[in-house]
Each structure stands twice: as C-alpha cells, then as structure tokens.
Amino acid sequence: MGIFIGVPLHSPTPVLLAIIGALFFYIWRWHVAVLLPTNSELVASARRSNRLLNLLVLLGTLAK
C-alpha cells in the first residue's frame, strides 16, 4: 500500500504530486511576495540584493 490509497509504492505518482505541489507553493509564495510585499519581505529582498551586490564586488576585487 502506497502513500495514496490504490497507488503502489513503486509508482512515481506520489513523487510527481509532491514535486508539482512544491512548485505550485513556491510560485504562489513568489506571487504573494511580489504583488503584496510586507515590510519584512521588502527588507529581506533588499538585504538579499545587497548581499548579492557585495558578493559581486568581492569577486570583482579578487579577479583583479
């Protein structure tokens, strides 16, 4: 007996459903973050881009 009733364990169906569910959740969270950003998400986004910029500057400095 698999995770879902009537689906054997060796079936790829549970794995596919889990992957589709994870992708849907990730896209939904991204839309919420883009369309309705809260203050904390805006701060986190700014921090993330700032961190990326710092990393690029560091890599540029090391490459010289």
Domain assignment present for residue 2? The answer is: no
1 or 23: which leads in pLDDT: 23
39 or 12: which leads in pLDDT: 12
Range of the domain at 53: 13-63
19 or 2: which leads in pLDDT: 19
Domain assignment present for residue 49? The answer is: yes
**Most distant CA pair in the chain, distance:** 61
Q: Work out how many domains the chain is built from and give that number.
A: 1
Domain assignment present for residue 38? The answer is: yes
Residue 14 burial (C-beta neighbours within 10 Å; 0-12, 13-18, 19+): middle
Per residue in 21-56, pLDDT (tens digit) is 888 888 777 766 666 656 665 556 666 667 777 777
Domain assignment present for residue 36? The answer is: yes
How would residue 9 be classed by pLDDT, with cut points 50, 70 and 90?
low
